[in-house]
Amino acid sequence: MCETRWLNRRQALISGGLYGGGIALKSLLGSEQPITGSRQTTGTAKSIIFLFMSGGPSQVDTFDPKPTLTKLGGQDVPESIAATVPQIKRAGLKNLLPSPWGFNRHGQSGLEISDLLPQLSQVADDLCVIRSMSHRNPVHGPGECVALTGTSTGERPSVGAWSMFGLGRESESLPSFIAMNIHNDGMQYPQPAGWGSGFLPSKFQGAVINPDRGIRDASPPPSTTVQRRKQEIETIQSMNRDFASRIGVSDLEARIQSYETAYAMQIAGPELFDLKSEDHKTIESYGMFEATTKHVGKACLLARRMVERGVPFIQIRVGGWDAHSQLKANHEKLAQRTDQPIATLIKDLKKRGLLQQTLIVWAGEFGRTPTMEGKSGGRDHSPSAYSIWLAGGGIRGGQVIGTTDPIGYTVTSDPISPNDMHATMLHAIGLDATKLAYNHHGLEETPLGVTGGKILREAFA
């Protein structure tokens, strides 16, 4: 369905008087879905939690063990390897840096995970590790846009916005797409495109929430009762209906939805952030009593609570993985912040029977070189090959997809692009990215843009 048909449908509703009833508009908007954005397949998940590790975690220090790199530490790449991998030969890689951490096999699957991540190692059988992610942009900002929108320009909708457009409004009382940005060590500033709606209507952008402060202005002033607030919304909507009857509806679409969402959030928002119902042991398991883990821990706990309350897309961004110098100190600090909370999130969802309906994605914008940058013990950016993992939501854990060369610089089998990952994420919640279309200036745009993308069907059970 093109944009014009979507607007005509809503105009018809207005003309027919179906917007009467003030707060009854909430249920109308909640059930209405664009035809091209409706669920097109049976999904394996109801919610997605996207754990975005900004800065570029090193693949050869986390999920892609390279014994050859350990043996060749301090040397340049030998001709025996360079001759068989053209990308390595062209790059002229020098001064190989071995990983400071060992790798061990974990779980019944024997999945190899770095000693840097001891808590995640405990849930190895739930992880599907993809070692063959690849794209071509080595710069943080554009790379983050590639990872979250599919292109480096920052002008296209985020994968979260596409999911919201496709599903319609699934959560009655909370935003359907919530983004939480945690920590920002270094220069990797959050890219608004990562939760933006691009050319989609602005109502599909994510709601950015600070997990430590809750939803801003969610609590009404002490002098305002729920009944009074309801009357205010009814009055505002009456004026919106009158305005729409005279000039049309397109300029009011996002405004109408925002008022409804704001009202609902004033009721449900404070309850979401009130952790009194969580027992001491649960809060402790997320690391919320420790300074190092408390921020990511709270975001992960809130993510689980959002899943319980029907939020379809939750994004947690943890910045600081950029290790141009002092790789060991940098990655140990970031691992200490994230390892326990993320592992606990998986365990907690599993314990509550929610993991199989929740797809978890852990990824950065790119990886890092197997060589040392300068003399500082760090690694440079490298989008040629990097690792991510999936868990829950119908994913078959305990497996590895894709391979890289002996030193982990480039992909040698099963190359996977960010667009492939987006297609896979949307597939998990029942959306076909090739059919999820929006008419933008006469072009039927899909989440996959002009480059396309494929579903990682082998990732699913």
Q: Is residue 251 part of a domain?
A: no
Nearest partner of 173 among 267, 275, 302, judged by Cα? 267
Total number of domains in the chain:
1
Q: Is residue 263 part of a domain?
A: no
Give the CATH number for residue 207. Answer: 3.40.720
C-alpha span between 351 and 345 (Å, rounded): 10
**Overall average pLDDT of the 377-397 stretch:** 98
Is the per-residue pLDDT at 1 higher than 50? no
Q: Is residue 225 part of a domain?
A: no
The token duo for 249 is 């509806």
**Overall average pLDDT of the 445-453 stretch:** 95
Q: Is residue 58 part of a domain?
A: yes
Q: Which DSSP string do the residues of 211-231 spell out, in sequence order?
A: TTTBSTT-SPPTT--HHHHHH
Amino acid in the structure at residue 375: K
Which residues constitute the domain of residue 126? 46-216+277-459
C-alpha span between 345 and 307 (Å, rounded): 11
Q: Average pLDDT, whole number, for the chain?
A: 87
Q: Is residue 400 part of a domain?
A: yes
C-alpha span between 321 and 324 (Å, rounded): 9
Decide: 122 and 405 in contact? Cβ < 8 Å: no
C-alpha span between 119 and 338 (Å, rounded): 10
Q: Where are the beta strands (DSSP E) in 111-213?
A: 111-114, 127-133, 177-182, 207-208
Q: Is residue 246 part of a domain?
A: no
Q: Is residue 21 part of a domain?
A: no
pLDDT at 61: 98
Is the per-residue pLDDT at 13 higher than 50? no
pLDDT, tens digit (0-9, with 9 covering 90-100), for 155-181: 999 999 999 999 986 666 889 999 999
**Overall average pLDDT of the 216-232 stretch:** 72
Q: Is residue 232 part of a domain?
A: no
The kind and range of the H/E element at 314 are strand 313-318
pLDDT at 184: 67
pLDDT at 254: 61
Backbone CA torsion sign across 413, 414, 419, 421? negative
